[in-house]
Amino acid sequence: MDPKNPPESGRIESVDIMRGFTILVMAFVNDLADFAPVKDVPQWLRHMKPDVNGFTFVDLIIPVFMFILGISVPLALGKRLARGDSPLQVFGHILTRAGSLIIIGLMDANRGAGLGRPYGDMLDWPHGLWKFLAWTFVFLVWLDVPLKSPLSKNARRGIRIAGLIGLVWLAVVFRNPSGGPFTIGRWATLGQLGWAYLFASITWLVFRDNKLGIMGVFALMHCLFIGIKSGLFQDVWL
């Protein structure tokens, strides 16, 4: 599909269907296998155990979502360039979207010790209150509502600012059950998607139709990954 000549509807139905199906399966396995107190769930509906050399279809959900993200980058950004947006404007859009995913990912990574994670419920707060407020503020900031009147648009802008202030407040006051502060050591799935989107989008914006350049970055990242796993960069903070 040529990103410079999208279909008349402006949507690629196959990509939308694949994305929707992946999100549906993602929500299903999260609720059934990992987060809800459901007993006797068969292994094929869970992530493969860490000590087993294998995978289930659950382990493929995030890779497939990453694949869809990569497909969407040239389509979405190419459409913006085709309609007259400057590269600087497109870069601003990339930063906004990536930053949004990273922020939501950070809130998600700090949200629940009851899930067997090292970061969790707010110390000395009622169980689940911090999570409830975090997701409430997330919806206030990123829920997209079609508005027409100037008054409603100004109200929406004020609600978004209030939501952002609320998220900053939750991050500042957060203490996990062990007394530890809000952490950025884990990004959660949405945060990882945000970083992947940022890097992939900037790569495409720089190289666009230069397939050799994109393949070179692809190879470079694989070499970097091998180096990280072998301990080559263990003393490098980044």
DSSP conformation letters of 185-211: S--HHHHHHHHHHHHHHHHHHHHTT-H
pLDDT score recorded for residue 145 = 79
Tokens of 213: 């350049």
Dist. CA 211–CA 92, nearest whole Å:
24
User: Taking CA 183 as the corner, what is the angle to CA 179 and CA 189, rounded to the nearest 5 degrees?
Assistant: 130
Strand, coil or helix: what is 56? coil
- Cβ-proximal residues to 125 (8 Å cutoff; 6+ apart), any chain: none
CB 197 within 8 A of CB 134: no
Strand, coil or helix: what is 142? helix
pLDDT score recorded for residue 216 = 96
**Mean pLDDT, 10 residues at a time, the chain of 238 residues:** 55 87 83 63 83 89 90 92 94 95 88 52 78 91 84 90 95 84 81 92 94 94 91 81
Q: What is the sign, positive or negative, of the torsion defined by CA atoms of 43, 115, 135, 182?
A: negative
Dist. CA 207–CA 220, nearest whole Å:
15
Percent helix, strand and coil across the chain, each to the nearest 5:
65, 0, 35
DSSP 100-140: HHHHHHHHHHTS-GGGT-SS-SPTTSPTTHHHHHHHHHHHH
pLDDT score recorded for residue 33 = 57
Tokens of 118: 């090292």
pLDDT score recorded for residue 118 = 46
Strand, coil or helix: what is 181? strand
pLDDT score recorded for residue 112 = 59
pTM above 0.85, yes or no: no
